[in-house]
Structure 1
Amino acid sequence: MISKRILTFFAAAFLSIGISTARPDEGMWLPLLLKQLNEAEMQKKGMRLSAEDIYNVNQSSLKDAIVSFGGFCTGEMISPEGLLLTNHHCGYGQVQQHSTVENDYLTEGFWAKTRQEELPNPGLTATFIVRMEDVTKQILTGTEGAKTEAEREAVIQRNIARVGKEATAGTHYNAVIRPFFYGNEYYMYITETFKDVRLVGAPPSSIGKFGGDTDNWMWPRHTGDFSLFRVYAGPANEPAEYSPENKPYKPKHHLPISLNGIEEGDFTMVFGFPGRTNEYLTSHAVQEIYEVSNPHKINIRETKLNILDKDMKASDEVRIKYAAKYASIANAWKKWIGENRGIRKANAIEEKQKLEQQFTHWVAADPARQQKYGNLMAEFEKNYKALDSITISRDYINEAAFGVEIVKLANNFTTLQSMLAQKAPQKDIDAQVAKLESYASGYFKDYNVASDKKVFAALLSLYYNNIDQKLHPEVFTMVRNKYKGDFTKYADDVFAKSAFVSEAGVKKILADAKAGKDAIKNDPAFELANSVAGYYRVNVMPTYTAVNDKLSLLYRSYVAGLREMQSDKNFYPDANSTLRVAYGIVEPYEPVDGVKYKYYTTLEGVMEKAASGIAEDYAIPAKLRELYEKKDYGRYGVNGQMPVAFIASNHTTGGNSGSPVINANGQLIGTNFDRNWEGTMSDIVYNPDQVRNISVDVRYILFIVDKFAGAGHLVDEMTLVTDDTSGLPQVDSRRKATEEPSKQNKKKERRKKKKQKAETAS
């Protein structure tokens, strides 16, 4: 079983519980409010910058080097010529698109030797933040008289449209206005989006994805997870559609790169676009996640992974087809295991309950507070109880039923079938057919019917057996009566008769649809998909939507109450894909009793893993081994070692992939690419003893670019520094590392002695 080793470690981790009283580095903070909320604490931790150095509208600042990469990752500008650094896994899709059998850039890597060789990527964007603004008053104007939540939301949406339009009138900018603290506040981001972003360089997957699924979410880590792109602009240095005439963008600021490296206790800052967190959930929600939702989802995905793993090992064709799918399925599966583990270790449910008890006592002490907040806890309990059967139904519909590829495919034909039944205009039917033809052509390229048939029987059996019959879709009654609940026999029948098992079958259905014939309605795979989707529409979605609307109102009041109760505490809003700052320090951690992890890894660990025998995840290029054996690290190595990755206590989540890790002087020291397994619960609760973000050391990036790839021309356009000079725009001259080796070695020796002295004192 592929998960035995992980689940053994998972169980062992439960032996140690308790939440830390150590100082927290929790929070994803709004750059606009750093002066007010965070500057003093950040400087106390060692930062030598001011809040204005990080975020400034009137002059260039660190924010001008940060981009939202494609809307799903973060990137940073690292040269005055528009060079952009992000993660390998963020640029993976672009590298894949440009790869062919003849030019397999995924396997071999890609490095543009000239600007002319840099590859365009239609649809890929790089978005900068021009400024932020608190627009709460403008957005909430007129909501006082709203009698229902729907009326309030309608007023808000009208205000958002008006305020955004006024803010960007006469410019090429866009406005993004988002709710914060469950709609208690609203902030506007004025953005500038560049549409000509070209691939410059990417290491081979054996470096960029080193460790694969085995190391995903894990520490120690040895992955060179980076890729390079370049932003291009029109004649006026403004956004422009792709054109060979475009010139490299001249950023307002690019991050200088420190060659000094990192030491334990160093200040670090992550600047990026975290995706989604839920830090203010009540104990009811966390308990539901921990006890109900995650365990079932983990079991469903593990069942699917075991089937695919066996088939992929038996066939190279299947392995290639399912490589990306398997990784995607495993990513969330492994995260949920770590999340549950972290919830247990942090005593998260109990800590939430303590806070709620404190809140209840605070409310009871004042009649005015009783009027505002008195019924909150009872309402939370009531509404979460209403979700008891709804949550598990949603999980099995999404993970089990629609985790079967043929069911998911058939469900995509619901709109077309409805059009045929209602005799919609031919042009509308033709348009829908064309859309499905395009979808199906890519779908069957990576589909194996035999594997999906096994998944069908296994996952639907879990759905049938693991939840109450009252929660079953109608089609399960037919399976019970006709097949005696045997989903293997049901699978035999469906896969023998359905047109959705092959591209030829789907093409015939679509051809019939264009001719006005409905061959979809009675297809057994469609009947199954339609039954499941119908159950969701009638029995799940109405309750789920209604309850969550109520919960949104409750959370708006609850968070407002918490902020009133803890008026001396700085609160940060949940992540919502807007620009944030997280800060912490470089430090090790202890995942379980008797185990302590260092805060850094080296190339030595790459070689150790390569010798472990896990060839698919730990294969390495011959040239990397050669450089290691010769210790040919250039100016990027330290005392005969090549640093690879490090950890720090910055609070990150999805979307922070590719974010710069910046030191106390505003210089780049690494690129964030993952979290440790023990810290994945930080989307719900932050435990300072366990939460660590994982970054590739910028010195390893430079080593791979320069020594491994021979792309030193890219390093030449960067600004490398070997001292503590500020990385701020006003002093950011374009210079290289010019200190003599002897001076560099003396500085490293002083840092080493300082560390040894501190360790002796402790």
Structure 2
Amino acid sequence: MLKRILALLLFVSLSVPFTAKADEGMWLPMLIKRLNHTDMQKMGLQLTAEEIYSVNNSSLKDAIVQFGGFCTGEFVSPQGLLLTNHHCGFSAIQSHSTPTDDYLTNGFWATSKEQELPNEGLYVDILHHMDDVTAKVLEGIDGSTPEEQRQQLVAQRTEAIAKAAAENGKYVTYVRDFYNGNEFYLFVYNRYNDVRLVGAPPSSIGKYGGDTDNWMWPRHTGDFSMFRVYTAPDGSPAPYAENNVPFKPKHHLPINIGDKDPGDFTMVFGFPGRTKRYMTSHGLKLEVNQLNKSRIKLREDKLALWKEEMDKSDETRIKYASKYASTSNYYKYSIGQNEGIKRMRTIEGKLVGEDKFQAWANADPQRKAIYGNVLNDIAEAYKNIEQYNLGTVYLNEAVLGTESLLMAYRLTPLYNALKSGNKDAARAAATDVQPRVDDFLKDYYLPADKKVFAALMKYYYEDIAKEQQPEYFKNLVKKYNGNFGKLADYVYSNSLVVDAQKLNSFLKNPTQKALENDPAFQLVNAIIENYRSNIAPKLAESNAKLDKANRLYIAGLRQMNPDKVFYPDANSTLRLSYGTVKEYSPQDGVLYNYYTTLEGAMAKADSTNEEFIVPDKLTQLYEAKDYGRYANEEGELVVNFITDNDITGGNSGSPVINGKGELIGLAFDGNWEAMTGDLVYDPEFKRCINVDSRYVLFIIDKYAGAQNLIDEMTIVDTESPGAGDAAEPVAETPQAELLRAVVDEAQQRLQNGKEEFKIQKKKGDVKVKLQVQD
């Protein structure tokens, strides 16, 4: 009987996963060895730190690219084949689509490299190396250095360091500040400008669920697209040319199609955009009450007006598909962020932390001299910013959020050249702006833009303090008696900007007078000039005060908590986050599984709703259960899964990598319950939504029949390594207490002659069940 108990103990021990906790933060890969590697190994990582990031040898970082400056991608073949999200490639897919060749609706698959489509202006950046240059940037600068002088020195030094590292244009380089200007790092990239579209599923797969499911879980979206990077024949970066050859990456990711289980280690490697996790309560209030509320209000009307026109014709739908998706994304995000901050009582929590900081600063005369007034300075700065910040929000969301006014604004360099009288400069400026004009006209529909103009200009007039509005605009409104429909009639009937023939003719023979008489150019120029002279200077003064105070605040927090490792805010530089596959419970009585299947997608199918249309071929594959080798052990086709990795915008397309360094999915979204992610980390609800690698390959293979692409990828069929594969001995984990309690109780029952019984115990998220029968 004792042997049986020991055998059962072993079985239970192996069946209980190591309950790992996701590590909050997006970490710099060059610091992983010093800060995170041991914790990652405990959670299931089987790679060395050098296999993750190395300057001299091939490593994971060499498989990761910044895609177009706004997303992430990863190499999945030795021939430069790249995976990213469908929504990241959406603009490129849309640019090649026409009503005849509608790749948005029907998908696109190149069966040979000759069929791959070039994309002007699209590029990828691959990190060559990064360096800590803090000492060089801050040499001779201390607390006594005047702030203006400090800013000048930092700007001069960071520019010089980046310029020297560029080696006369060989690399793309920049220096970014971290911890609000307390540290500085140099980033050196190789940029490749020949990036071609290789494959994309139809939007009914790549965008399945549309705006309804955006930011939501459960999800059933095949959010991926494929591109290929090309180089000159010698392997160097080069613009598009027919004789270019596929790029040979130093490293590409094998794709794992094994099953995933709760607790399996995951890391997300990519380029998260911006977080503001160290923002104080004063900044959060401004973010919630002013920025988000305004964005929600303005974008809601804009989206509705666009949708009216998009529903009238396929041509307009295709033209506005990418713009609509981009605008909608952060409209919905702002709603979720405000709700999350309220639910988490984030502002209240910040206030508690700020009280502790103030008490710590006041407790020591030296600290008080440095940090004692920091929070007061932050509060005063935000109070002043609040008076003028709405002008900034509305300039971006309403004025430059109107297509005609944005295009008119982009003619400003040409206007300045004409005004200077320099004919060569004017010709150069006209040439420079022509590609922007072409892009604008290709996807422009005047009736839609005119409706948006009238609505947003009305909001601008009503919501911005009258003393902060330009006289030209106020006089226009007065002239048309506050009728913004008539004001729009005037602008759109007389502006060359909204007429393709007039705009192109103007660029062939541009004149200063033509722009000065153009109502769209006059209006946007008046608003921006007013902003620069009456609003920006007041904001600049307050922002300078805020920058200094925030820098001191973070420096003080780090000094106050010397044993805590602080991660830097995301700033579009390469980062790594790590966590596990994990379900969650959004509310009482509801438990969300950690994966979804094609069966769930079929349950949502609705042929009358464009967001939930399922292609006929996918339906046929589902009905036949023709999943090939991509089904899980239960015979299901997994579509999406969730992890608790820390991500934000810019991580879209990032690889989700297991402990062996294999691709198991692509990150493409966050969940509604954790929309606070840019401002505060939610340890309970934060989830990263990913498209499963098996679904990606299934669509390429079984749906598209693109065997040429399957053949060039490295596919492995083993289960992802679980957390227990590299965890510490069970005796050292909290789960050991549960196991010992179960065994002790079992032995006691056996001694009392009980031959048949069940024991169930629970601690936190861990359950142990034991059944003994004679």
1:623 aligns with 2:591: no
SS in 2 for 1:189: strand
> In 1, Cα distance between the equivalents of 2:240 and 2:502?
39
Q: Write the mapping of 1:348-387 to structure 2, written as runs, cut at 5 A.
A: 348-387=346-385
8 Å CA contact retained: 1:67, 1:74: yes
8 Å CA contact retained: 1:509, 1:520: no
1:540 aligns with 2:542: no
The equivalent residue for 2:515 is 520
Deviation at 1:269, TM superposition (A): 0.5
8 Å CA contact retained: 2:260, 2:719: no
> In 1, Cα distance between the equivalents of 2:476 and 2:171?
56
Q: Amino acid of the residue matched to residue 651 of structure 1?
A: D
Deviations 1:84-124 (A, max 9, x none): 22112222333334445554433332323234433444543
Q: Which moved more, 1:595-604 or 1:430-439?
A: 430-439
The equivalent residue for 1:744 is none
Gaps of 5+ in 2: 1-19, 723-761
Q: Which moved more, 1:110-119 or 1:567-576?
A: 110-119
- RMSD of the TM alignment (CA)? 3.0
SS in 2 for 1:559: helix
Deviations 1:508-546 (A, max 9, x none): 6557x64x5613324433333233222211221111222
Deviation at 1:642, TM superposition (A): 0.7
Deviation at 1:599, TM superposition (A): 1.7
Deviation at 1:245, TM superposition (A): 4.9
The equivalent residue for 1:262 is 260
8 Å CA contact retained: 1:142, 1:155: no
104 and 536 in structure 1: CA distance in 2 versus 1, 3 angstrom threshold: same
Match of 1:463 among 460, 485, 507: 460
> In 2, Cα distance between the equivalents of 1:243 and 1:664?
39
1:634 aligns with 2:636: no
Deviation at 1:155, TM superposition (A): 3.1
53 and 410 in structure 1: CA distance in 2 versus 1, 3 angstrom threshold: closer
1:657 aligns with 2:655: no
8 Å CA contact retained: 1:479, 1:487: no
Deviations 1:614-661 (A, max 9, x none): 1x2222221111100100000101223110011111111122111110
The equivalent residue for 1:706 is 701
1:678 aligns with 2:673: yes
Q: Amino acid of the residue matched to residue 108 of structure 1?
A: N
8 Å CA contact retained: 2:44, 2:721: no
146 and 243 in structure 1: CA distance in 2 versus 1, 3 angstrom threshold: farther
> In 2, Cα distance between the equivalents of 1:242 and 1:467?
46
Q: Which moved more, 1:660-669 or 1:429-438?
A: 429-438
Deviation at 1:386, TM superposition (A): 0.6
> In 2, Cα distance between the equivalents of 1:654 and 1:81?
28
Q: Which moved more, 1:484-493 or 1:34-43?
A: 484-493
1:602 aligns with 2:600: no
Q: Amino acid of the residue matched to residue 205 of structure 1?
A: S
Deviation at 1:684, TM superposition (A): 0.8
Deviations 1:435-483 (A, max 9, x none): 4555444433433333333323322222222344333332453256434
Deviation at 1:254, TM superposition (A): 2.1
8 Å CA contact retained: 2:607, 2:614: no
The equivalent residue for 1:734 is none
State the identity %.
Answer: 50
The equivalent residue for 2:425 is 428
How many corresponding residue pairs?
Answer: 709
Match of 1:443 among 433, 440, 455: 440
Gaps of 5+ in 1: 1-21, 728-754
> In 1, Cα distance between the equivalents of 2:282 and 2:275?
17
Q: Amino acid of the residue matched to residue 62 of structure 2?
A: D
Match of 1:159 among 136, 157, 166: 157
211 and 460 in structure 1: CA distance in 2 versus 1, 3 angstrom threshold: same
Match of 1:271 among 265, 269, 282: 269
The equivalent residue for 2:570 is 575
Q: Amino acid of the residue matched to residue 635 of structure 1?
A: R
Q: Write the mapping of 1:98-113 to structure 2, written as runs, cut at 5 A.
A: 98-100=96-98, 103-113=101-111
Match of 2:484 among 484, 487, 502: 487
8 Å CA contact retained: 1:31, 1:55: yes
Q: Amino acid of the residue matched to residue 215 of structure 1?
A: D
Q: Which moved more, 1:119-128 or 1:358-367?
A: 119-128
> In 2, Cα distance between the equivalents of 1:195 and 1:481?
49
8 Å CA contact retained: 1:25, 1:688: no
SS in 2 for 1:571: coil
Match of 1:43 among 25, 35, 41: 41
SS in 2 for 1:671: strand
Q: Write the mapping of 1:22-33 to structure 2, written as runs, cut at 5 A.
A: 25-33=23-31
The equivalent residue for 2:334 is 336
Q: Which moved more, 1:436-445 or 1:65-74?
A: 436-445
The equivalent residue for 2:544 is 549
Q: Amino acid of the residue matched to residue 374 of structure 1?
A: G
Q: Amino acid of the residue matched to residue 582 of structure 2?
A: E
> In 2, Cα distance between the equivalents of 1:445 and 1:724?
47
> In 2, Cα distance between the equivalents of 1:122 and 1:269?
32
> In 1, Cα distance between the equivalents of 2:534 and 2:544?
17
SS in 2 for 1:156: helix
Larger Rg: 2
Q: Which moved more, 1:524-533 or 1:356-365?
A: 524-533
Q: Which moved more, 1:475-484 or 1:252-261?
A: 475-484
459 and 593 in structure 1: CA distance in 2 versus 1, 3 angstrom threshold: farther
190 and 311 in structure 1: CA distance in 2 versus 1, 3 angstrom threshold: closer
SS in 2 for 1:570: coil
84 and 501 in structure 1: CA distance in 2 versus 1, 3 angstrom threshold: closer
8 Å CA contact retained: 1:206, 1:618: yes
529 and 366 in structure 1: CA distance in 2 versus 1, 3 angstrom threshold: same
8 Å CA contact retained: 1:441, 1:503: no
The equivalent residue for 2:729 is none
Deviation at 1:257, TM superposition (A): 1.9
Q: Write the mapping of 1:238-253 to structure 2, written as runs, cut at 5 A.
A: 238-240=236-238, 242=240, 244-253=242-251
The equivalent residue for 1:690 is 685
Q: Which moved more, 1:377-386 or 1:616-625?
A: 616-625
124 and 447 in structure 1: CA distance in 2 versus 1, 3 angstrom threshold: closer
Deviation at 1:298, TM superposition (A): 0.7
Q: Which moved more, 1:243-252 or 1:344-353?
A: 243-252
Deviation at 1:723, TM superposition (A): 3.0
